[in-house]
Amino acid sequence: MINFIKKYLFILKITSIVFLLSNCTSTKTNTETSQLSDIEIYSRGLDSLKKGNLTRAILEFDNVFLNYPFSSLSSKSEVMSAYSLYQNNEITKAVAKLSSYIEMNPKGELTRYAHYLLAMCYYAQVSSEDRDPSTSIKALNYFKLIITKYPNTDYSKDAKLKIQLLKNTLAKNELNIGKFYLRKGAPASSIKRFKSLLQNYQNSSVIPETLYRLSEAFLLIGLKDEAIKSNALLDYNFPNNTWTKLSKKLLKNKSDLNQKSDGKFSIINYLKKIF
């Protein structure tokens, strides 16, 4: 029993020493930081960022904000901290920090960049067209906001490219859901998805396959005339596409496909006719 008590007291002593040393180190670090100017702390953050030490960079930029809240570098440090979090794949924290910054600085010097970085945070989470598209929709909306608020900036130019990529992703998601309904023997539900895709993502890369699948769905419910129209639209707008070649095998009477003329089959006109 005595040996047990001695052993317990020894462990307790060691634990206390470690705690004191840790506390002294933390106090020393905080003291050193408080003795530095805002410029010096900010510079240390930039240096850490350049070296790839993102955790340290986040700490330094946050220290500027905490120790010098009224400094001209304070708000800039908030954005740099958010950027470091973004680079460190701490997306949730970056989003929270950027949202707070934008709310507090609606017309700040770095607000337009904060909007762009916020959009990129959502864009970075877009990983597959087969998953929940909510993140893609959020990113799309934020990039649209950038185009509206800052139309003549480099952020706007990049936003336009990102929007097209996001629309392709969302279009693929709609197409995959429509194809899923086709496989499950629910052509009416698939037609609704294909209709939504054609209406909302007209310039996406999956339009040819969508028109092909739409023809399939119409044939499954016995609407051959509508299938012919879909094939004609596909043939007129994408004559050399692989899906156009495959579409001609869907209908036995290939002469029915020769209905293209005078730009008659645009997607908008087609939708007005069949929907």
Nearest partner of 123 among 170, 185, 66, judged by Cα:
170
d(CA 187, CA 180): 10
Helix, strand, coil share of the chain (percent; to 5): 75, 0, 25
Q: What is the pLDDT of residue 157?
A: 95
77 φ/ψ angles, rounded to the nearest 5 degrees = -65, -35
Nearest partner of 67 among 44, 93, 92, 90, judged by Cα:
44
Gap between the terminal Cα atoms of the chain: 87
DSSP 8-state code for residue 70: T
In a 10 Å sphere around its CB, with 0-12 CB exposed, 13-18 middle and 19+ buried, how is residue 60 labelled? buried
Q: Which helix (H) or strand (E) holds 126?
A: none
CB-hemisphere CA count at 13 Å for 102?
16
Q: Which amino acid is at 74?
A: S
> Domain spanning 171-275 has what CATH number?
1.25.40
d(CA 187, CA 218): 7
In a 10 Å sphere around its CB, with 0-12 CB exposed, 13-18 middle and 19+ buried, how is residue 115 labelled? buried
Q: What is the pLDDT of residue 129?
A: 54
Nearest partner of 141 among 127, 110, 162, judged by Cα:
162
Q: Are 41 and 33 in contact (CB under 8 A)?
A: yes
Compute mean pLDDT per 10 residues along the chain, 275 residues long, and list them.
44 44 44 73 94 95 91 92 96 95 90 95 78 86 94 94 92 92 93 92 91 92 89 89 85 51 49 49
For 38-117, give the CATH class. mainly alpha
- Rounded to whole angstroms, the maximal C-alpha distance in the chain is 102
The reported pTM is 0.72
d(CA 187, CA 194): 10
The torsion angle over the Cα atoms of residues 222, 224, 227 and 228, rounded to 10 degrees, is 180
CA distances from 227 to 101, 211, 216, 222 (A): 53, 9, 7, 9
Q: What is the pLDDT of residue 123?
A: 93
Residue boundaries of the structural domains of the chain: 38-117, 171-275
Q: What is the pLDDT of residue 80?
A: 96
Domains 38-117 and 171-275 share a fold: yes
Chain centroid to CA 74: 28
Q: At what angle do helices 54-67 and 38-50 cross, to 10 degrees?
A: 160
